[in-house]
């Protein structure tokens, strides 16, 4: 517990509860207060009568002018007069509440419940005659708050220097965190006390293709646990990050306090605002059980319903890809010599010498189509289909790709016709190499090409530093870019799976065709430097809180020395855990990432991937602890079939599935996929055991997961 000075104590007595506006959650378990202390806005949060968040400051700093000049990012003392963080008096208070049930187009459950009480306080800064609204929504699973800027005489256009929303926790806690960065989220999760974050920060920041680290700060969502007899799980995140930069959390490790840090542009500006406008929601989800945090839909509820008039094209899709073989280095994106110097519009790619190892060639793609079709997939991603990969990365080159010109050995018409004849839709790939400016130029032509050949979805990519130069992956300009592309894709009835873009914060409610982002270390990192065995047990508490991730599970051939003798890279899971990920990781555009040749050797295990659904009527988080394990059951959309997945971290673990979530009195056939007794993620990852069993809602099945192991179950009613 932090020490409170006598002065602070007296202040809190003088300006404390008497002035406070209180709000309770619908179930009464949460309560929060808003108050102005000497003109400075504060809020706190209680759960079951106990303070979860102490009095924490609110406010923003803004630039003097809406037009920012070079070096204006260096604040002068007199700029403080434009800050919106003090000198306030309350001028209005408005309360509201809502209890609605809505259906996500694609989701983890059929119905999402949006139930909250709302408090909106209008405060006015006399010195500037500017009013802002601080709006709080208190749900049964936590708090969201944001700033709203009504259009008014003295506030029409302004630029945010920083948002200073604080979250001040009373005690030290356990934290699962990654280092803050304006350009990358692809870091290994760290588990430490909040107080230890600064001392562990530097070693947690490994290299990335594009990175702009923020010293000692961590990324949002941040998962926390107050340990002890009455544990509390707390998730700190944000919702509806639209037309605003993504935020990070500065850490005050002595005081267990976090402060918003927005992604800057090259001018040091954080947000270009035109009233009426509002910030994203700052969210604090709190629950005594980890499962309830993971199950929270609060972040989605804080987003607006979609305005799309036609969502019929948005469909769950399982896909394979000519992809993993490039990630591991077995084939190449480039058609000719990588590292060679090419220019679109000048280089004649038909005259280049093929490197002989180009992945996206007609023969190989047809083989993939055949296998995907035979096994009931709907989609096939092909990367490296278009010209420009010879010199695509790291050269600050703006015009790398045109998104419309195939390599000479990729017959776009023939392959799409062939795929369609087999019930497969090819999935387009738009790697931008970070050159969003160039992508926007080509977007219409690129989507027109997709429509012409019948592509239904696109994987976009932003590897490398952003162009417009000086923008960052998470700055306001790029945030707007991602959703501009989503809207453009909607014009063309295309689903988007975005990589190296910003983590989603519930926007799929508003942009339901923006199916997922990557925005964390996915399976590909197993080939680039490895993921920790607990990685997949943290992600659902962090990256997944605001939307799906294209993690690309399903690697059966986990050891890469199979391809390259002596190669010590390997995917740090058992094969059974790979299956379980299809349930523990929600993703309606879900990949089976391994090569057909590897699936062919394990068609019995592959059966699970063939059968598992990608869209759901219901989800039950059976048991979970961040960094340790996740056991999830999901009911497939429009059926009575259930799927269960369980994964563990670097520790072996026993878990008994209680099937009481099944309909009472019904008989089901379960097919169980589990780690073999001698399985081991390092020494024997491909050892698994498959068996069938008839079960009811009264059944219980014990599992022994080996270290970084797991299990998966398909459950179908017996007819």
DSSP string, 323-373: THHHHTTSSBS-SS-TT----TTTS-GGGSPP-S-BSS-HHHHHHHHHHHH
Return the number of the residue (149 or 551) whose C-beta is nearest its own copies: 149
When asked if residue 425 is in the footprint of its own copies (CB under 8 A), the reply is: no
* Cα-Cα-Cα-Cα dihedral sign, residues 88, 94, 96, 102: negative
Q: Write the binding mask 106 to 145 for its own copies: x where contact by CB under 8 A, - elsewhere.
A: ----------------------------------------
Residues 6+ apart with CB under 8 A from 597: none
Choice from 70, 363, 678, 691 touching its own copies (CB under 8 A): 70
Choice from 86, 128, 267, 651 touching its own copies (CB under 8 A): 267
Return the number of the residue (339 or 654) whose C-beta is nearest its own copies: 339
When asked if residue 477 is in the footprint of its own copies (CB under 8 A), the reply is: yes
Query: How far is residue 68's CA from residue 265's CA, in Å, rounded to a whole number?
Result: 11
Residue 62: count of CB within 10 angstroms of its CB? 25
- Tokens for 425, please give them: 């839709």
- Tokens for 239, please give them: 């919702």
CA 30 to chain centre: 27
When asked if residue 511 is in the footprint of its own copies (CB under 8 A), the reply is: no
When asked if residue 441 is in the footprint of its own copies (CB under 8 A), the reply is: yes
- Return the range that interacts with its own copies (CB under 8 A); candidates 130-138, 220-228, 272-280, 697-705: 272-280
How many residues of this chain interact with its own copies, rule: CB under 8 A? 37
Choice from 172, 250, 325, 465 touching its own copies (CB under 8 A): 465
Cite the DSSP H helix spans in 262-314.
290-295, 298-301
Beta strands in 179-300 (DSSP E): 179-181, 190-193, 213-219, 222-226, 232-239, 247-252, 257-262, 271-274, 277-278, 281-287
CB of 204 to its own copies, least distance (A): 20
Q: Write the binding mask 379 to 418 for its own copies: x where contact by CB under 8 A, - elsewhere.
A: ------------x--xxxxx--------------------
- Return the range that interacts with its own copies (CB under 8 A); candidates 138-146, 197-205, 440-448, 556-564: 440-448
- Return the range that interacts with its own copies (CB under 8 A); candidates 13-21, 266-274, 585-593, 683-691: 266-274
The helix (run of H) or strand (run of E) holding residue 487 is: helix 476-491
DSSP-assigned letter for residue 129: T
Q: Write the binding mask 570 to 609 for its own copies: x where contact by CB under 8 A, - elsewhere.
A: ----------------------------------------
325 catalytic per annotation: no
Nearest to 552 by CA among 319, 294, 382: 319
Choice from 64, 193, 200, 266 touching its own copies (CB under 8 A): 266
Rounded (10°) CA dihedral 27, 16, 34, 270 = -140
**Side-by-side strand order, sheet with 60-62:** 60-62, 157-163, 271-274
* Token pair 């269960």 in the structure block, residue: 644
Choice from 11, 68, 75, 344 touching its own copies (CB under 8 A): 68
When asked if residue 180 is in the footprint of its own copies (CB under 8 A), the reply is: no
Which residue is catalytic, options 291, 524, 526, 674? 524
Active site residues: 524
Residues that bind its own copies (CB under 8 A): 66-70, 151, 156-157, 159, 212, 265-267, 269, 272, 274-275, 341, 343, 391, 394-398, 437, 440-441, 444, 464-465, 468-471, 477, 480
């Amino acid at each position: 517990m932090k020490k409170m000075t006598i002065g602070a104590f007296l202040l809190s007595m003088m300006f404390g509860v008497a002035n406070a506006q209180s709000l309770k959650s619908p179930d009464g378990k949460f309560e929060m207060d808003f108050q102005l202390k000497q003109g400075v806005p504060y809020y706190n949060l209680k759960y079951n009568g106990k303070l979860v968040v102490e009095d924490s400051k609110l406010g923003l700093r803004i630039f003097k002018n809406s037009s920012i000049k070079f070096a204006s990012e260096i604040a002068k003392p007199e700029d403080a007069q434009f800050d919106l963080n003090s000198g306030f008096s309350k001028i209005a208070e408005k309360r509201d509440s809502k209890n609605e049930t809505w259906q996500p187009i694609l989701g983890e459950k059929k119905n999402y419940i949006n139930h909250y009480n709302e408090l909106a306080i209008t405060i006015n800064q006399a010195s500037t005659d500017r009013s802002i609204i601080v709006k709080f929504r208190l749900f049964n699973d936590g708090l969201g708050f944001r700033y709203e800027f009504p259009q008014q005489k003295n506030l029409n256009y302004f630029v945010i220097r920083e948002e200073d929303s604080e979250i001040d926790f009373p005690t030290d806690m356990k934290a699962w965190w990654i280092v803050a960065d304006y350009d990358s989220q692809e870091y290994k999760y760290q588990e430490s006390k909040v107080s230890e974050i600064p001392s562990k920060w530097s070693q947690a920041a490994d290299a990335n293709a594009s990175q702009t680290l923020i010293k000692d700060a961590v990324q949002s969502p941040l998962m926390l646990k107050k340990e002890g007899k009455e544990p509390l799980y707390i998730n700190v995140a944000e919702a509806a990050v639209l037309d605003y930069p993504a935020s990070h959390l500065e850490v005050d490790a002595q005081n267990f306090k976090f402060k918003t840090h927005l992604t800057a542009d090259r001018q040091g500006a954080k947000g270009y605002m035109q009233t009426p406008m509002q910030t994203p929601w700052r969210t604090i989800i709190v629950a005594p059980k980890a499962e309830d945090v993971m199950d929270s839909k609060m972040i989605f509820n804080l987003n607006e319903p979609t305005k799309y008039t036609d969502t019929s094209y948005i469909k769950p899709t399982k896909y394979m890809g000519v992809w993993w073989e490039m990630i591991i280095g077995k084939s190449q994106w480039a058609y000719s010599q990588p590292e060679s110097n090419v220019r679109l519009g000048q280089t004649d790619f038909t005259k280049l010498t093929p490197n002989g190892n180009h992945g996206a060639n007609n023969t190989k793609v047809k083989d993939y189509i055949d296998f995907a079709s035979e096994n009931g997939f709907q989609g096939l991603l092909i990367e490296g289909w278009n010209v420009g990969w010879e010199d695509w990365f790291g050269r600050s080159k703006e015009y790398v790709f045109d998104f419309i010109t195939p390599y000479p050995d990729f017959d776009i018409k023939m392959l799409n016709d062939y795929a369609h004849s087999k019930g497969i839709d090819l999935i387009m790939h738009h790697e931008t190499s970070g050159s969003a400016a160039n992508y926007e130029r080509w977007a219409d032509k690129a989507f027109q090409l997709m429509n012409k050949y019948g592509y239904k979805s696109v994987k976009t990519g932003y590897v490398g530093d952003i162009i417009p130069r000086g923008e960052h992956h998470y700055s306001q300009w790029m945030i707007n870019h991602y959703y501009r592309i989503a809207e453009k894709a909607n014009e063309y009835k295309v689903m988007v799976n975005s990589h190296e873009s910003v983590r989603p914060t519930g926007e799929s409610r508003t942009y339901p065709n923006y199916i997922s982002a990557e925005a964390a270390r996915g399976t590909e990192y197993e080939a680039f430097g490895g993921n920790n065995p607990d990685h997949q047990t943290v992600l659902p508490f962090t990256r997944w809180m605001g939307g799906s991730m294209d993690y690309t599970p399903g690697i059966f051939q986990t050891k890469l020395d199979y391809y390259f003798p002596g190669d010590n890279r390997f995917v740090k899971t058992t094969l059974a855990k790979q299956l379980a990920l299809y349930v523990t990781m929600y993703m309606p555009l879900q990949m089976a990432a391994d090569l057909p040749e590897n699936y062919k050797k394990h068609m019995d295990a592959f059966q699970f991937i063939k059968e598992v659904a990608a869209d759901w009527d219901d989800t039950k988080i059976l048991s979970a602890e961040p960094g340790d394990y996740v056991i999830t059951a999901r009911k497939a959309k429009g059926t009575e079939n259930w799927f269960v997945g369980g994964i563990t971290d670097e520790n072996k673990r026993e878990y008994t599935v209680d099937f009481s979530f099944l309909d009472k009195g019904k008989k089901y056939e379960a097919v169980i996929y589990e780690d073999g007794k001698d399985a081991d993620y390092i020494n024997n990852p491909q050892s698994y055991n498959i068996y069938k069993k008839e079960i009811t809602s009264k059944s219980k099945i014990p599992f022994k997961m080996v270290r970084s192991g797991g299990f998966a179950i398909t459950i179908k009613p017996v007819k």
